[in-house]
Amino acid sequence: MRLVAVAAAVALFAAAAPALASDRHPTQGELERELVCPTCHTTLDESDAPIARQMKAEIRRRIAQGATKSQIEQELVDEFGPSVLGVPRKHGFDLLAWALPLGGVGVAAAGLAFGAWRWSRARDVGDTVSHAPSAAPLDAELDRRVDEELARFDA
Amino acid sequence: MRLLRLLAVAVVVALLGLLVWDMAQADGSKVAKKVDQGQVVAAPKLVLPYHDRDGSFDLAAQRGKVVVVNFWASWCQGCKKEAGALNAAARYWRDKGVVFLGVDVNDFRSAASRFVDRHDVAYTIVRDGPGSTLGKWGVTGLPETFFVDRKGRVVPPHVLAAATREQLDEGIRRARRS
């Protein structure tokens, strides 16, 4: 159990370190791939619209000034609204965009598990019911006749 | 099990509600189309922050005045071309109960400020960075100009390119007669 916890912590740090580095030192390419042109609704790297060219120039200028990725993203959201983000943010109301699909998968899995459990339980009960007559004791008369038949058979 | 069934029904009803709401929002896109067909339609709601000062402009508060609504952006070539005509018309009609409104869409605030200074824009500019009003008015490109009469209705014509002084005067006259 302790080994699993250590492995999880290492994996978490391994994933967080590049993200932190990316936020502090964003590249032009990654921001152009992640931000959307407000007029043509494609990512900036695929757009040559006038406003997309202005946005690329602004990103270049802000990177040169040492702005972080989140600062640049926030400034563009302030100018053009949250739809410029190619992917929703992982906090506030936007978190719903991540949580709802994951929650949906969770609910579906729970529903499936519940359904499977009910189905297997119903089958067990069915099996019990179908075996019940053979497990029930014979009445005395029938029991006596079976013994007589068996005794005759043995003789 | 009954609870699950109720939950499923609730989810379906919520999704249907979302669909109806979305369709109702998109209904405004018919405004430009109807005006182009010669119809007079109620102006969509337009409340936007001023570009150069605090507060918001509300189109509904302009009842009793003709309003020229011009959608533009600093990066748009047609907008540069029509700037002179808009300015001249705005100055001419200013004291005759006509309000000119420039809606700056999908634009950097700083770039819009440079445009306003360079062209000495003489009328009210509001800001719609995300372009949230475009769909409601049915704007498909920039620039586009609409004329709203004194009763708050959009009347023909609807100018789909750089507006000329003649087009602006004609649109205003028709809105005043409406």
Q: How many domains, in total, are found in chain B?
A: 1
**Is B14 part of any domain?**
no
Taking 60 as the threshold, does the pLDDT of residue B152 lie above it? yes
Could you tell me where the DSSP H helices lie in chain A? Answer: 2-24, 28-34, 50-64, 69-80, 95-135, 140-154
What are A's interface residues with B at a Cβ cutoff of 8 A?
38-39, 50-51, 54, 58, 78-81, 83, 111
CB neighbour class for A84 (10 Å; exposed up to 12, middle 13-18, buried from 19): buried
Amino acid in position B18: L
The range of the structural domain enclosing residue B126 comes to: 28-177
**Is B75 part of any domain?**
yes
CA B171 centroid distance within chain: 15
Do the Cβ atoms of B75 and A54 come within 8 Å? yes
Q: What is the pLDDT of residues B62-91, one digit of tens each?
A: 999 999 999 999 999 999 999 999 999 999
- Report which secondary-structure segment, H or E, holds B14: helix B2-26
**Is B13 part of any domain?**
no
Give mean pLDDT in consecutive 10-residue pieces for chain A, a chain of 155 residues: 60 57 86 96 96 98 97 97 83 71 86 87 68 66 88 82
Could you tell me where the DSSP H helices lie in B94-164? Answer: 109-118, 134-137
Q: What is the pLDDT of residues B90-131, one digit of tens each?
A: 999 999 999 999 999 999 999 999 999 999 999 999 999 999
Do the Cβ atoms of B108 and A111 come within 8 Å? no
Q: Which residues of A touch B108 (CB under 8 A)?
A: 54, 58, 79
What are B's interface residues with A at a Cβ cutoff of 8 A?
4, 73, 75-76, 106-109, 111, 129-132
Tokens for A127? 């099996």
Hey, how many other C-beta atoms are within 10 angstroms of the C-beta on B174?
A: 15
Taking 60 as the threshold, does the pLDDT of residue B26 lie above it? no
Paired residues of B57 in beta bridges: B48
**Residue B130 to residue B139: CA distance in whole angstroms:** 14
Do the Cβ atoms of B130 and A50 come within 8 Å? no
**Residue A112 to residue A110: CA distance in whole angstroms:** 5
Amino acid in position A131: H
**Residue B137 to residue A81: CA distance in whole angstroms:** 19
Residue B24 to chain A, least CA–CA distance (Å):
20
Q: How confident is the model at residue B158 (pLDDT cuts 50, 70, 90)?
A: very high
> For residue B172, what pLDDT is reported?
98
> For residue A17, what pLDDT is reported?
58
Sheet holding B153-159, edge to edge: B41-42, B153-159, B144-148, B66-72, B98-105, B124-128
Q: What is the pLDDT of residues B27-56, one digit of tens each?
A: 556 899 999 999 999 999 999 999 999 999
Q: How confident is the model at residue B2 (pLDDT cuts 50, 70, 90)?
A: confident
Q: What is the pTM of this model?
A: 0.71
Q: Which residues of A touch B109 (CB under 8 A)?
A: 79
Which of B76, B105, B106 is the mutation pick for testing A, counting most A CBs within 10 A?
A: B106
| CATH code, domain carrying B149 | 3.40.30.10
> For residue A63, what pLDDT is reported?
98
Tokens for B126? 């509001």
**Is B16 part of any domain?**
no
**Is B5 part of any domain?**
no
